[in-house]
């Protein structure tokens, strides 16, 4: 997947929305990110991971690329480095040293805004990805149960449920919804661009 295919939408841009399909903030976020989400399913490495057919070395490299994104995203969004730490532990289990991990390239800082709505939009992407990670972990276990999957299984379903339950209250109007959807698309686009470095 070429990096140029990513949606270069910053938090200040406006994502078109079909009012008939966005009765809730959750629906608006899903609709706004559907195209880039679909494209990521076509990323060769992520597709092999989802199918459970990824090799051990490629899996380590894919985790390393993901580490560069989460090491940027979690502190930017005011989150504890839980996913970043899980990635580091998985990579050391796969033979990398702590020095190796510390020298991995880091994703450029993405532009998602600093307000509450923007952070909610970006967190929507990270938490949603965690749900997909559990599916990937099950697929991996069928092919190679020795592969570490802390990163893929680190967020529980309750994390998503808690987030989703507060979504409408935290995005009470059209302005906050637009800010959140723009940030969600920008987050997905930053991840897509970054992961294009690992095909």
pLDDT tens digits along 167-189: 999 999 999 999 999 999 999 99
> Yes or no: is domain 26-195 CATH 1.10.620.20?
no
What are the tokens at 20?
Answer: 């008939």
> To which residue do tokens 């379903």 refer?
157
**Would you say residue 15 has pLDDT above 80?**
no
Query: Quick one: DSSP state of residue 154?
Result: S
- Tell me the mean pLDDT in the region 148-152: 95
The whole-number pLDDT of residue 13 equals 40
Token couple for 77: 């969004």
Query: 63 burial class (0-12, 13-18, 19+ CB within 10 angstroms)?
Result: buried
User: pTM for this structure?
Assistant: 0.83
Instruction: For residues 68 and 104, give the distance between their C-alpha atoms in angstroms, rounded to a whole number.
Output: 7
pLDDT, tens only, 27-50 = 999 999 999 888 988 899 999 999
pLDDT confidence of residue 198: 59
As a whole number of angstroms, the distance between CA 42 and CA 26 comes to: 24
Contact between 152 and 133 (Cβ < 8 Å): yes
Q: How many CA atoms lie within 13 A of 149 on its CB side?
A: 22
* Structure token pair of residue 111: 């532009």
Element (H, E) at 191: helix 174-195
Give the span between the Cα atoms of 79 and 75, in whole angstroms: 6
Confidence of residue 133 (pLDDT cuts 50, 70, 90): confident
């Amino acid at each position: 997947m070429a990096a140029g295919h990513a949606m270069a939408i910053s938090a200040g841009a406006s994502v078109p929305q079909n009012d008939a399909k966005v009765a809730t903030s959750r629906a608006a976020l899903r609709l706004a990110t559907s195209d880039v989400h679909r494209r990521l399913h076509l990323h060769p490495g992520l597709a092999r991971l989802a199918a459970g057919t990824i090799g051990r070395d490629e899996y380590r490299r894919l985790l390393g690329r993901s580490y560069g994104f989460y090491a940027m995203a979690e502190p930017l969004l005011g989150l504890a480095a839980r996913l970043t730490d899980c990635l580091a532990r998985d990579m050391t289990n796969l033979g990398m040293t702590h020095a190796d991990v510390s020298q991995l390239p880091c994703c450029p800082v993405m532009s998602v805004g600093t307000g509450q709505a923007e952070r909610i939009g970006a967190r929507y992407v990270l938490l949603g990805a965690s749900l997909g990670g559990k599916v990937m972990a099950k697929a991996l276990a069928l092919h190679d149960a020795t592969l570490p999957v802390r990163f893929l299984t680190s967020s529980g379903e309750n994390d998503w449920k808690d987030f989703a339950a507060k979504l409408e209250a935290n995005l009470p109007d059209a302005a906050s919804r637009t800010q959140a959807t723009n940030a969600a698309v920008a987050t997905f686009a930053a991840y897509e661009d970054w992961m294009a470095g690992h095909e």
